Structure 1
Amino acid sequence: MNDQHNPYDPYQPQPQIIGYDAYGQPVYQQQAQAQAPQQPAYDPYAGGQQAYGYDPYAQPQAPQQPSYDTYQGGQPQGGYAQPSYDPYDPYGGAGGAGGAGQQWQAAEPAAPVSAPAGVPGQRPAPEPPTAPTAPGAPRRPEPDAEADEAKEYRTEQFSFIEEPDEDSEDVIDWLKFTESRSERREEARRRGRNRVIALVVVLVLAAVGGVGYLWSAGLLPGTGDSEKQGPNAVTGPQQRDTIVLHLHDLKGGGTSTALLVDNSTTKQGTTVLLPNALAVADTEGSATTLGKSVEEDGSSGTREALDTLLGAKIAGTWRLDTPYLENLVEYLGGIEVDTDTAVPDPKAKAGADPLVPKGEQQTLNGRAAVAYATHRASGEAEAKQLQRFGQVVNGMLRKMPSDASNAAAAIEYLQQIADPSLPEKDLAASLAKLADHAKTGAYKTALLPVAEDGSLAEGAGDSVVKDILGGKVTALDAGGVPRVSIKDGTGEDAVEAAKIVLINGGYAFVGGTKADSRAKSEVVYGDDAQKATAVEVAKTLGLPEGSVTKGKPAGTAAVTVVLGRDYEIPGAS
């Protein structure tokens, strides 16, 4: 009889089918017991964990699929082995490469792969329980702990993280060096851009400021009257500092007077030469000459007389005697002057060389400078001597220090008695400013034009008084007294009598001159505000009100009286 089981024999006991092999053939209980591999029994209450992990090349190990025993201790009831189910077998049969004879295994979810030991931030995954074996099969030996540890990663395999070697430190240092060098280059480029921007802004502001200054000063082409008036023309009020200089000739006698004007607005210096014949009013209001006023009224009275006549504010007086001029020139180391004549040396014998030779760029010491400044040949006009005096003053200013402290040292060296109106410190400051103009060529000399009778010549008010001195004809002087001048056209000497009448009437007499003979007298005023003053002057002199007319007064006078033959001289028979 064939012992092989026939599944279609109804009289033969049918064994229980416990599964299917990989080819779909049924697997019976006896066959499965003969072929099933021995697996250790699984105790659901034992809590055993299946060992698994990673190989050294990071390939995950497939976990062992456990077989579950429904009975404690791994002994099934009735001799039947509880089948295990393979969740990966699509046919529900026994999985595995061996086909038939593989015991069914229960499906178990894949356990998460545990991280290698020693890696921070990762927790190990729990090991799955050991699968039970079929009844009667021997248990599989427990996995070797050393083998399991060999399959896991050890901390020394990650030494490149926890224990950096020298090469890694070199790499870090190189990265830091590269980063710092890049930052320095970027910072240098940024500073360079900032400097360029700042320079451009400064240049733009300077250009705009320069153009604005030229425009405001009227020096740009097509703006204002700069082309007509020249580069130094300035409109509006100007700041001037004026002092009067008196040179006293202690040997030859006489004085020479000049006004030193510093115009800080136009940055121009000027020496205005004043002839001694200039008619001024003395302290009592009487007519006198400038030369007499210096000798009789002194520095203070002469300064006030010039201030009244010219309408210019004079800050102070510098009295310079000839010995002090000689010492000052010696202190400065001599001066250079273009001399117009030779001046003989009075102490030398006849035929000796002159003290001052004639020619350009002549170097003069102290004695020569004094001799040239005071020299006036016989029959020579006073204006020629004043021109020489102006040359010496100009040469002296060119050698004077431009610093106020050094200029003060030069003035103190003279040990002269300073005028109370102009202390040495203020005088040195004024001379330093004038010296700066003289050294830069912004200095000139002008002669105040005076008529034969000592009055201001026609046009003097515009060319010198107004333009250089900044004088202006006003109705009243500083004391509130109207200034009146006289032109005598009577054919007789009527100036002195008319002057006395005006002074007694409370007016300031500022000079009288001769005029061509005329029949009718006139009282001329320039400003409408002076019309009432002109009417009062006419009444004071006994002239009719109809003689008052609007015109241009002479010089700086508010009112000019032109006497005609109709004027009755007081006291005349």
Structure 2
Amino acid sequence: MNDQNPYDPYYPQPQIIGYDEYGQPVYQQVPPQSQQSYDAYDPYAQQQPQGRPPTQQPQAPQHGQQQGYGYDAYGQPVQPQQPQQPQQPQTSQQPQYDPYGQQGPQQQGYGYSPYETGQQWAVQPEAAPAPAPAAPVAAPAGVPGPRSAPEDGAERDYRTEQFSFIEEPDEDSEDVIDWLKFTESRSERREEARRRGRNRVVALIVVLALAAVGGVGYLWSAGKLPGFASEEQKQNTATGPQKRDTIVVHLHDLKGGGTSTALLVDNTTTGQGTTVLLPNALSVSTDDGTSTTLAKSVEDDGSSGTRESIGNLLGTEIAGTWRLDTPYLENLVEIVSNIDLTTDVTVPSDKKGEDPLVTKGENQTLNGRAAVAYATYRAPGEAEAKQLQRFGQVMYAVLRKMSDDPKANADTIATLVMILDPSLPEKDLGASLAGLAKHAKGGDYKTAVLPVQQDGSLGEGAADSVVKDILGGKVTPPEQGGAVRVSVRDATGKDATEAARVVLVNGGFAFVGGAEADTQKSSQVLYGDDAQKATAVEVAKTLGLPESAVKKGKPAGNAAVTVVLGQDYKIPGSKK
């Protein structure tokens, strides 16, 4: 007999094969089942553990009992469940109960209940066909659904809280939707980019068109448009009101002696910079009315007196004086990192055995020492104009290297610790050099030489172009109480200029220079503006000339009235 409990309802009852000598039933030993079985009375059809026998097995017939009946755990006869086909529960039949009193699957027929003695269940010989399964109904949220049978014979132990209904998205459909959205958004972005590109192109075209029209208009109004400047515009540009910033610079050669003078002119109206070189032989007036040369005026009268003499002679306003000694020029070139220019001569070194300081040729780079040597060099027998032009080259090259920022230039000048004229402090000099540097870097810069005759007087036609066009020295009526500027040309052949100068200065006129002229018999007093006719008459009377000598003509560019002394002029105090 095995160790299984014969009264366990979950194990099959052994068959009685007889009775022993004491009248007790003898049971047939049933081997344990090797496969799993299901309890026919379990409504959830739970799988029994392996190694346990099925809950119901056919029983051997007992004495006085029908074939196939046995006893339950309480000794009551029970019709065994059909092993081959468990009955499906019928919803229309009276509910039945499992061994624990739970509602179980309903079956047709009768038999004996394991809990109610004597209640019969009729056993139908054959199982009725199972009805068609009803359509599954989804359980409400939070309510677990029915448990399913385990798969592959494995034991499952699931609890209801382990299950929940999840709506899983269709990956393929989501991918398609995402692709459509991506394609649509990319198309919209491309179209938007095209629209923005078209708008930008249109805006750029409009801006360029407006800029072109504005630029052409400006060039036309300024008379800089080639082939389209009217004669009136040209005349206004050349002779109209223009704003100029003019300073005078004196280069003092402390080693070799002598000076070189130039005017630095910044025409802010036309955007043109110019260096006007002044020869040392230029005749200027002193404070007492006497004539002297420019070189002697720089030595004797200094900066202030010379600046006023040049301004009176040329009829222009000079803002200030820049004294540039050769040591300062050398340091300035070093600060701006050397200069580049085309040299016209080879300058030897002042020390024996050394290479030349400057070599003749194009695009020569000069340091501070070489720049000073080139600016002051004058070969034996060479005209002064050659050395003056070299000084102009050095000044232009320095301006190209200087900054167009006024403050930066002021700092550079302060570094040099130069001797400055009170009329031109560091701030004002830095601003003037900044404007000139801007023109020099842009190519709007030129150098001109003021033409002077041998006697130091201004030349005729060339002087007018420099004085009027560059310096703006057009003669205007004198201010109330101001002295009238008078120039003298001596055509007597008797050196009468000094005598005429003294008479004019004593008469209240400003003598602005004298020059020699070809001999002529009759004297003339020339005026250019009708408003100056009365003044010309007064000049003639002062010199003792007849009123018939007054004529309208072309006076010198720096004077309101020009007197040409002929042979009929009588020098005061002379017997002839």
* TM-score using structure 2 length: 0.64
User: Do structure 1's residue 255 and structure 2's residue 255 form an aligned pair?
Assistant: no
CA distance in 2, matches of 1:222, 1:371: 44
**1:572 maps to which residue?**
574
**1:553 maps to which residue?**
555
| Pairs within 5 Å for 1:161-180 | none
Correspondent of 1:544 among 533, 540, 546: 546
Q: Deviations over 1:296-333 (max 9, x none)?
A: 22111111111111122211111001111111112222
Tell whether the 8 Å contact from 1:477 to 1:483 is kept in structure 2 after alignment.
no
**1:282 maps to which residue?**
286
**1:348 maps to which residue?**
352
Q: Deviations over 1:246-273 (max 9, x none)?
A: 0011122211000111222332221110
Correspondent of 1:490 among 486, 489, 492: 492
User: Do structure 1's residue 246 and structure 2's residue 250 form an aligned pair?
Assistant: yes
C-alpha spacing 1:514/1:181, structure 2 compared with 1 (3 Å): closer
CA distance in 2, matches of 1:210, 1:273: 35
Give the counterpart letter for 2:513 in structure 1.
G
Q: Deviations over 1:274-299 (max 9, x none)?
A: 00111111122222221121112211
Q: Deviations over 1:151-173 (max 9, x none)?
A: xxxxxxxxxxxxxx999xx9xx9
**2:273 maps to which residue?**
269
CA distance in 1, matches of 2:558, 2:187: 79
Secondary structure, aligned partner of 1:426: helix
**2:429 maps to which residue?**
427
CA distance in 1, matches of 2:503, 2:261: 31
Tell whether the 8 Å contact from 1:218 to 1:226 is kept in structure 2 after alignment.
no
CA distance in 1, matches of 2:526, 2:232: 36
Sequence identity of aligned pairs in percent? 72
C-alpha spacing 1:258/1:538, structure 2 compared with 1 (3 Å): same
Secondary structure, aligned partner of 1:288: strand
**1:105 maps to which residue?**
none
C-alpha spacing 1:335/1:178, structure 2 compared with 1 (3 Å): closer
CA distance in 2, matches of 1:221, 1:343: 42
Indicate the larger mover: 538-547 or 378-387: 378-387
| Pairs within 5 Å for 1:57-136 | none
Tell whether the 8 Å contact from 1:522 to 1:561 is kept in structure 2 after alignment.
yes
User: Do structure 1's residue 209 and structure 2's residue 214 form an aligned pair?
Assistant: yes
C-alpha spacing 1:202/1:358, structure 2 compared with 1 (3 Å): closer
C-alpha spacing 1:273/1:527, structure 2 compared with 1 (3 Å): same
Tell whether the 8 Å contact from 1:247 to 1:255 is kept in structure 2 after alignment.
yes
C-alpha spacing 1:564/1:191, structure 2 compared with 1 (3 Å): same
Correspondent of 1:516 among 504, 507, 518: 518
* TM-score using structure 1 length: 0.65
**2:11 maps to which residue?**
none
Give the counterpart letter for 1:198 in structure 2.
A
C-alpha spacing 1:196/1:517, structure 2 compared with 1 (3 Å): closer
Q: Unpaired segments of 5 or more residues in structure 2?
A: 1-166
Tell whether the 8 Å contact from 2:451 to 2:463 is kept in structure 1 after alignment.
no
**2:341 maps to which residue?**
337
Choose between structure 1 and 2 for higher RCO, CA contacts under 8 A separated by at least 6 residues: 1
| Pairs within 5 Å for 1:18-33 | none
**1:69 maps to which residue?**
none
Give the counterpart letter for 1:281 in structure 2.
S
Correspondent of 1:296 among 286, 295, 300: 300
CA distance in 1, matches of 2:295, 2:469: 25
**1:97 maps to which residue?**
none
Q: CA deviation at 1:219?
A: 4.4
Secondary structure, aligned partner of 1:467: helix
| Pairs within 5 Å for 1:176-187 | none
Tell whether the 8 Å contact from 1:488 to 1:495 is kept in structure 2 after alignment.
yes
**1:396 maps to which residue?**
398
C-alpha spacing 1:203/1:308, structure 2 compared with 1 (3 Å): same
Q: CA RMSD in A?
A: 3.2
CA distance in 1, matches of 2:438, 2:225: 26
C-alpha spacing 1:549/1:353, structure 2 compared with 1 (3 Å): same
Tell whether the 8 Å contact from 1:221 to 1:227 is kept in structure 2 after alignment.
no
Correspondent of 2:507 among 505, 508, 522: 505
**1:199 maps to which residue?**
204
